[in-house]
Chains A and B, each alone.
Chain A
Amino acid sequence: MIDFDPSTFGLAHTYQKEDKDEINTLSMPSAPQVIYRSLNGPTQTNGGNKLNNFKHGTTTLGFVFKEGILLAVDSRASMGSFLSSEQVRKVIEINEYLLGTMAGGAADCQYWLAYLANHCRTYELKNGSKLSVAAASKFLQGILIGYKNSGLSMGCMIAGTDLSGQHLYYIDNDGMRLKGDIFSVGSGSTYAYGVLDNYYRYDLSLDEAVELGVRAIYHATHRDTASGGVVRVYHIHQNGWTKVHDGIDVVDLHYKFAQQKGLVGDGDEAKQRLF
């Protein structure tokens, strides 16, 4: 079987400068020069074929609160104006104590989070103790930096529990790694942030936190066409993680929230009969 070693597998390879090129009197090692070979030509971020540019259609969010961490995600995958799926699982169960969220390229997220799972388990068996969330997220960052500018598209959150508590990290394909209390990633993140930032408190109860996560995802799916489907919610606590909701249809949420406000939810509350 293939040996998975990121330094030799994939697009980038390194070469060392020939010693006879330069006399290095300081005897310091010269940094290897990295050559990037792109598979399909130069990576296009904003241009390119918009019909295939389905990658960032998502809303995922996570926040830390007194009962642990709450993750909520939508489930839509779209290829331009074509809905490819309403049932995607954007929370990836890395292992019993770590979860990852998917935003950007689904393939990249699924593959590298599975690779991370492999590494975490091998480490745990070899060393007798589990990798911390900080270490696991750092390891992933290291992989993504190695593929920087190669066209990987990932905006993941790594959330988990270890001996020092529950922790939430944001990792992206630029090699950025941030630890934080609140993150939202994807095309619908701005809408989710609006709701999250308004109602977030550290001392939310579990039910309040779930409600907040669900609402934030719902509002993002309502305004962002690239987000939708169902809301999935996970809770991370000191004993691992629990799946709180496997899929609440956002259409049902629309009418439920409208009714709570005493509205009809048909888009014509003022009865202007515009259509």
Chain B
Amino acid sequence: MFQNKTDYDRGVNTFSPEGRLFQVEYALQAIKLGASALAIKVNDGVVLAGERKLNSTLLEPRSIEKIYEIDTHIACTASGFIPDARTLVEHARVESQNHKFNYGEPINVRALTQIVCDLALDFGESDSKSKTKMSRPYGVALLIAGVSDHGPQIYQTDPTGTMIEYQAKGIGAADEGIQSILKEQYKQDLTLEQAERLAILCLKNVMEEKINNSNVELAVITTAERRYTQRTSEQIQSLIDKV
């Protein structure tokens, strides 16, 4: 299907005769090049995990940030073109605080996800009068996970601006591998620790490098406390040992 490189794939917001926006579809391909990331929702909270692709033994593993805190009760992980993720996360953080400022309450996960998705299709040529916008689609998919009054929730966003709620989802190069493990082993009433072990198991099985406590990142937000907590390397190591 992608061999038919026609003239309609040059213009960023030009529809092809079959009704496709090629640039947006190509942006979706960028996600398939990304390092693995996943999120799992259980009654006790949400778990986020990401693979750190360490290209050199000389780099500081903790400088590669895979899981981003958006607010105390919401976090996200990304796969694809990571600088685009930074822009989206930045926007999410500001909008989350603005919501708290205006309404005196934490923003709920769905509303925050919608705000991020609103940016997805706001690309193209900007004229001098209106606000400058992105010249191209974002090449990243986010898994936004958090706890609000609606309980724990996970949403996936992609360059098309679609948001889909999941119970458990993996994204990136190995997304099919992660999804098949999750389909077998996921249950909604797993404990948080079981969910964390499942996350580590998924990464262990799909990562090319041998999993260790510095090439993965793991974070949780519990239903009880609604507070983002990143797992330390010691905690990750003990989970790896149990898997």
Contact = CB atoms under 8 A, between A and B. Distances in A.
B102 A126 contact: no
A2 B100 CA distance: 13
Contacts of B70: 125
Interface string A221-239: 0000000000000000000
Contacts of B100: 118, 121
Nearest to A119: B97
Chain A, interface residues (CB within 8 Å), range: 10 to 19
A114 interface: yes
- Dominant SS at the B interface? helix
A1 B98 contact: yes
Contacts, number: 25
A114 B69 contact: no
B118 interface: no
A4 B101 contact: yes
Contacts of B193: none
A122 B98 CA distance: 9
Interface in A124-161: 125-126
Given A2-B102, A125-B71, 20 more contacts: A1-B98, A1-B99, A1-B102, A4-B98, A4-B101, A114-B101, A115-B101, A117-B101, A118-B100, A118-B101, A121-B71, A121-B97, A121-B100, A122-B93, A122-B94, A122-B97, A125-B69, A125-B70, A125-B93, A126-B90
Interface in B3-26: none
Interface in B26-75: 69-71
A1 B103 CA distance: 11
Interface string B69-94: 11100000000000000000010011
Listed residue (A4, A115, A118, A125) with the most chain B CB atoms within 10 angstroms of its CB = A125
A126 B101 contact: no
Contacts of A2: 102
A262 B239 CA distance: 66
Interface centre among B69, B90, B99, B101 (most CB of A within 10 A): B101
Nearest to B86: A126
A4 B90 CA distance: 16
The DSSP consensus for interface residues of chain A is: helix
Interface residues of B, number: 12
Interface in A96-135: 114-115, 117-118, 121-122, 125-126
A109 to B, nearest CB: 15
Interface in A26-55: none
22 contacts: A1-B98, A1-B99, A2-B102, A4-B98, A114-B101, A115-B101, A117-B101, A118-B97, A118-B98, A118-B100, A118-B101, A121-B97, A121-B100, A122-B93, A122-B94, A122-B97, A125-B69, A125-B70, A125-B71, A125-B93, A126-B90, A126-B93
Contacts of B99: 1
Interface of A: 1-2, 4, 114-115, 117-118, 121-122, 125-126
B89 to A, nearest CB: 9
A1 to B, nearest CB: 6
Contacts of B101: 4, 114-115, 117-118
Contacts of A121: 71, 97, 100
A115 B100 CA distance: 10
Nearest to B92: A125
Nearest to A122: B97
Nearest to A3: B98
Contacts of A118: 97-98, 100-101
Nearest to A117: B101
A204 to B, nearest CB: 34
A261 B56 CA distance: 74
Contacts of A114: 101
Contacts of A4: 98, 101
Nearest to B100: A118
A121 B70 CA distance: 10
B74 to A, nearest CB: 11
Contacts of B69: 125
B224 to A, nearest CB: 18
Contacts of A126: 90, 93
Interface string B93-128: 110011111100000000000000000000000000
A39 to B, nearest CB: 22
B35 to A, nearest CB: 21
Nearest to B68: A125
A115 B101 CA distance: 7
Nearest to A115: B101
Nearest to A125: B93
A58 to B, nearest CB: 23
